[in-house]
A and B are shown apart, each in its own frame.
Chain A
Amino acid sequence: MRRSGATPEITADIRRRLAGLSGRTFWRSLDELARTPAFHRFLEAEFPSLASSAGGMDRRSMLKVMGASLALAGCDGEADGAALPYVKAPEDAVPSPRQGR
């Protein structure tokens, strides 16, 4: 990776961003913290899978959502499906098991 970090503007930008922050804020590199468009383009080109998570959902939220969906999957009960009969039934058609489920 090209050392695009510590240019004076970026450092100043990082300082500005950090000034108001408190508590646990995570970043993988100063570049990511800076979130400059240039860095984002680089990330997108080099690590497309990371690029989306850089701005959007992180690993922890992902796990939370997965956990919640797994937990709620059991609460669904039986999803009673729709039944679509023929309009004009073919002669001698015998529905096979699970057909059209």
Chain B
Amino acid sequence: MPQTLSASADTRLRAGLLVVAVAAGGAVLVAGGYMESSYATLVGWVREQPVPFSHEHHVGRLGIDCRYCHTTVETSPEAGLPATEICMTCHSQLWTGAPMLAPVRESLVTGEPLVWNRVARVPDYVYFNHSIHMGRGVPCATCHGRVDEMPLMRRAEPSQMEWCLECHRDPAPALRPPSEVTRMDWSGWSDETPDRATYGRRMVEQLGIEPAKLDD
């Protein structure tokens, strides 16, 4: 009776198993890499908008406070987008004929809202509340990035659970005076005085924030 398996069968089986293992491992790495990449997290991507609104111009150069347009950020879970009337507060006087602003004028005339495309968004199962973060002194820029340097709005941080937990496990370094939450540039803030270096820790104590309850 001839041999069922050739002499090289064992080698081929081993090589085959190795290829399968490498392919499976590779697939996991590729999937993981994709989920971390900006293709999945959408960090840094700009979306098409009805009006090419520039935060760089309005916040960075004109110095308009975030709350002038995002009116309910301190009182509601939703920061709120400016009503057409808020845009027209200034633009009924400035750039009144600009073709770029035609959709805004049209919205005011017809009563149809502007349709913006959301840039920063957390998944539906997250019950994020803007007002409490404002009240405790988490600056806008922590999550939304330096919008004063964004000609077109883009997502600054990945809305992933890990990213939320980073802060929620140790909130002290993220806390700033609530009166200054809309400030954009915080570089070197905590190094300026020894008082500020311990600010976060003192506030955690004073406000009764219990990190153990923030990430459960």
Contact = CB atoms under 8 A, between A and B. Distances in A.
Given A87-B107, A89-B83, A95 B42 contact: no
A85 B114 contact: yes
A89 B42 contact: no
A83 B121 CA distance: 11
B76 A96 contact: yes
A86 B121 contact: no
A86 B83 contact: yes
Interface string A28-67: 0000000000000000000000000000000000000000
A89 to B, nearest CB: 4
A89 B113 contact: no
Contacts of B121: 78, 80-81
A86 B113 contact: yes
A2 interface: no
A97 B112 contact: no
Contacts, number: 72
Contacts of A84: 113-116
Interface stretch (B11-19, B123-131, B143-151, B171-179): B123-131
Interface centre among A87, A94, A99, A101 (most CB of B within 10 A): A87
Interface string A69-101: 000000001101111111111000011110101
Given A80-B121, A82-B118, A101-B124, A87 B129 contact: no
Nearest to B116: A83
Contacts of B115: 82-84
Interface in B95-131: 107-108, 111-119, 121, 123-124, 127, 129
Contacts of A80: 42, 47, 117-119, 121
B81 interface: yes
A87 B116 contact: no
Contact of B113 (A77, A81, A87, A101): A87
Contacts of B84: 85-88
B69 to A, nearest CB: 9
B81 A97 contact: no
B75 interface: yes
B77 interface: yes
B82 interface: yes
A95 B78 contact: yes
Contact of A87 (B78, B112, B159): B112
Contacts of B86: 89
9 contacts: A78-B42, A78-B123, A80-B118, A80-B121, A82-B116, A84-B113, A86-B83, A95-B78, A97-B77
Q: Across chains A and B, which 6 residue pairs bring their CB atoms closest together, nearest first?
A: A85-B81, A86-B83, A89-B83, A95-B78, A84-B113, A87-B84
Interface of A: 77-78, 80-89, 94-97, 99, 101
